[in-house]
Amino acid sequence: MILIIDFGSQFNQLIARRVRECRVYCQIEPPDISMDKIRALAPEGIILSGGPASIYATGSPKVDPAIFSLNIPVLGICYGMQFMVHALGGRVEAAEKREYGPATLSIARAEGILEGIPSPTTCWMSHGDRITALPEGFAALATTVNSPYAVIQDPARRYYGMQFHPEVVHTAKGKKMLANFLFAICGCRRSWTMKSFARDAVRQIRDQVGDKPVILGLSGGVDSAVAALLIHRAVGSQLTCIFVDNGLLRQEEAKQLRKKFKQHLKINIRSVNASGRFLKALAGVADPERKRKIIGRVFMEVFEAEAKKIEGARFLGQGTLYPDVIESQSAFGGPSAVIKSHHNVGGLPKRMRLQLVEPLKYLFKDEVRRLGLALGLDETLVWRQPFPGPGLAIRVIGPVNRSRLDILRAADTVLLDEIRASGYYRKLWQSFAVLLPIKSVGIMGDSRTYENIVAIRAVTSKDAMTADWARLPHGLLGRISSRIINEVRGVNRVVYDISSKPPSTIEWE
Ligand code: XMP
């Protein structure tokens, strides 16, 4: 495995992505990781990440310099390189201005980490401080106009440094450079596959859980489904899944999920139909944040009441993914943990004294999908677009009731039907219908109508932090519009949302 020390760069997750694309396992850890933990992880190599700080700034992140006595190869990237040079006796100076953007890398010696890289090649710079003298044993391998020490090495100790970011796609040969580090320098093997992951995870779950019961909340999404499959593989009937039907899901979704888990996968599932309770609590509420809070609260109440019926339950399974873990452990974490907090069972573990079982907490979304396929989950579930915890309640704008949910559900079914048939489903991050709280005049047959408006939202995105409205073909939009107006009673107008995020958000509420 490769240990990545997180100095706070926005590109850190990309380093992990690239390493895993080479089928080498890696873990990102904060700089205050103890030497004991590092020894226990026994990494083949250590990558010191970039970061926004200057090494001279007070409180700038530092890792125990004793890592340089472990006889393990180290690659320092940007801030990580400056940290290494400083720690080993070289000189780093604050530069007057930051260098940011593409630069041309001229390679003097294509060896070590630069083996097989043509010169010149493009690299992506983003740094403030710069190195002015190397520690003993180091030499420069490549330069840019502004950086005489763009790539450095001490081959005897197997220490390497890069002033630029090899993990971003703008560094043309970055992946090859990282691969050189992993294979030629650290001696890693390409052994990280979803099969090997599943094998290890099953063993760990068994060790953790023993013969005790485990409960897990199924949401209908891919993460909780894959977590359930993995835990089921490890402890079989000790696992009980709880599915809270809040009445805010899409057409047929609740039914299909129950069938899939009970009949096909033979997993214990307790399904609670709580739609009446949710709708009652939501009656007359128009404010989006109040809707979210109510849904979160009722979900917790229903889930807890059901969980208490499972005697002796000491463990709660959850489909937490790696980006959430990284963000919550990083001092520079983003807002996504907050966005998602309401729909998992936040306070429950403490209240019921449950221990968490989180078998996916070191995986990225695409890895979870691959794992799902490897565990026999079918493609429709594995490739399901993200769906918000509060469900259709935040897509019926204004107060929610059963009849408005029914209208939206019918429109959404038509939309997804057409999106799937056109081959766009997997190209889009999300595509859905929104029911607006205003009516408009129309004409149907010979009579005037005064009915609802449905908005269509379809976006492309990589991570939901930013999104662009999808340029769907006009023919497809036309089919969606006429089918919704013809087939869904109560709708006489369809509009297409052409706003990007930011400044808009993906959901309307
Ligand atoms: P926005 O609307 O903020 O959405 O651009 C970004 C992503 O998050 C989803 N989303 C939610 N997911 N609970 C969730 O579990 C929520 O309250 C919630 N609000 C938005 C949204 O569908 C998109 O994928």
Atom of ligand 1 nearest to the CA of 389: 15
182 to 20, 190, 210: CA distances (angstroms): 11, 9, 36
pLDDT value of residue 322: 84
What are 300-318's pLDDT values in tens digits? 999 999 999 999 999 999 9
Is 333 a residue whose pLDDT tops 60?
Answer: no
Dihedral sign for Cα atoms in the order 501, 502, 503, 507: positive
User: Is the Cβ–Cβ distance between 393 and 281 less than 8 Å?
Assistant: no
**What pLDDT digit, counting tens, does each position of 258-286 carry?**
998 988 889 999 999 999 999 999 999 99
Q: Are 274 and 298 in contact (CB under 8 A)?
A: yes
Annotated catalytic residue within 29, 44, 167, 306: 167
Q: Residue with the nearest Cα to atom 6 of ligand 1? A: 464
Which amino acids bring their CB within 6 angstroms of ligand 1? Answer: 292, 339-340, 342-343, 386, 388-390, 430, 464, 501, 505-507
Give the whole-angstrom CA distance, residue 179 versus residue 176.
5
Q: CA 83, CA 178: separation in Å to the nearest integer?
A: 19
What's the 100 CA to ligand 1 centre distance in angstroms?
32
Mean pLDDT, rounded, for 374-392: 92
Query: Probe ligand 1: pick from 506, 508, 509, max atoms within 8 Å of CB?
Result: 506
Which atom from ligand 1 is nearest to the alpha carbon of 504? 5
- Greater confidence (96 vs 427) lies with 427
Q: Name which of 71-85, 234-248, 358-372 the model is least confident about.
A: 358-372
- pLDDT tens-digit profile of 62-95? 999 999 999 999 999 999 999 999 999 999 998 7
Asked if the model's pLDDT at residue 294 lies above 80, the reply is yes
Report the atom number in ligand 1 closest to the C-alpha of 467.
5
Report the pLDDT value the prediction gives residue 330, as an integer from 0 to 100.
Answer: 56
CA distance linking residue 291 with residue 282, whole number of Å: 7
**Residue among 339, 394, 412, 509 whose CB has most ligand 1 atoms within 8 A, to mutate:** 339
pLDDT of 453 higher than 50:
yes
Rounded to 5°, angle at Cα 505 from 503 and 509: 130
How many angstroms separate the alpha carbon of residue 339 from the centre of ligand 1?
A: 7
Which residue in 29, 123, 127, 165 is the catalytic one? 165
CA 419 to ligand 1 centroid distance, Å: 20
- CA neighbor of 433 nearest in space, from 408, 398, 407, 404: 408
pLDDT at 211: 96
Q: Which atom of ligand 1 is nearest to the CA of 386?
A: 24
Taking the CA of residue 343 as reference, the ligand 1 atom at the shortest distance is 15
**If pLDDT is split at 50, 70 and 90, which confidence band does 474 have?**
very high
Query: pLDDT tens-digit profile of 7-56?
Result: 988 888 889 989 999 999 999 999 999 999 999 999 999 999 999 888 98
Residue in 252, 250, 229, 253 with CA at minimum distance from that of residue 241: 229
Residue 421 to residue 424: CA distance in whole angstroms = 8
pLDDT tens digits, 118-150? 999 999 998 788 899 999 999 999 999 988 999
Distance CA 111, CA 181 (A): 11
- The answer, yes or no, to whether residue 358 has pLDDT greater than 80, is yes
Expressed in angstroms and rounded, the spacing between residue 201 Cα and the centre of ligand 1 is 29
**Angle in degrees, CA 99, 104, 107, rounded to 5:** 120
Is 115 noted as a catalytic residue in this protein? Answer: no
What does the pLDDT read at residue 345? 56
pLDDT score, position 331: 46
Using most ligand atoms within 8 A of CB, pick from 497, 507, 508, 509 the residue to mutate for ligand 1. 507
Position 186, amino acid: C
Dist CA 131 CA 277 (whole Å):
63
Residue 167 annotated in active site: yes
Q: What is the pLDDT of residue 334?
A: 37
358 C-alpha to ligand 1 centroid (Å): 22
In this structure, are residues 361 and 322 in contact, taking their beta carbons and an 8 Å threshold?
A: yes
- Is the separation of the CB atoms in 326 and 364 below 8 Å? no
Of the residues 78, 123, 186, 188, only one is catalytic, namely 78
What residue owns the CA closest to ligand 1's atom 4? 506
Looking at residue 97, what is its pLDDT? 72
Which pLDDT belongs to residue 475? 98
| Ligand 1 centroid from CA 465, angstroms | 10
Residues written for the chain: 509
In this structure, the residue with its CA closest to atom 12 of ligand 1 is 388
- SS3 of 255-268: the string is HHHHHHHHHHCCCE
Cα 381 from chain centroid (whole Å)? 17
Using the atom order of ligand 1, give the atom closest to the CA of residue 429.
Answer: 24
**290 CA distance to ligand 1 middle (Å):** 15
> SS3 string of 106-168?
EECCCCHHHCCCCCCEEEEEEECCEEEECCCCCEEEEECCCCCCCEEEECCCCEEEECECCCC
What average pLDDT score do residues 336-342 get?
Answer: 38
Interval between CA 445 and ligand 1 midpoint (Å): 39
**Domains in the chain, ordered, with CATH?**
2-185 (3.40.50.880), 194-382 (3.40.50.620), 400-496 (3.30.300.10)
Ligand 1 centre and the CA of 507: distance in Å? Answer: 6
- Would you call 188 a catalytic residue per the annotation? no
Residue closest via CA to ligand 1's atom 10 equals 388
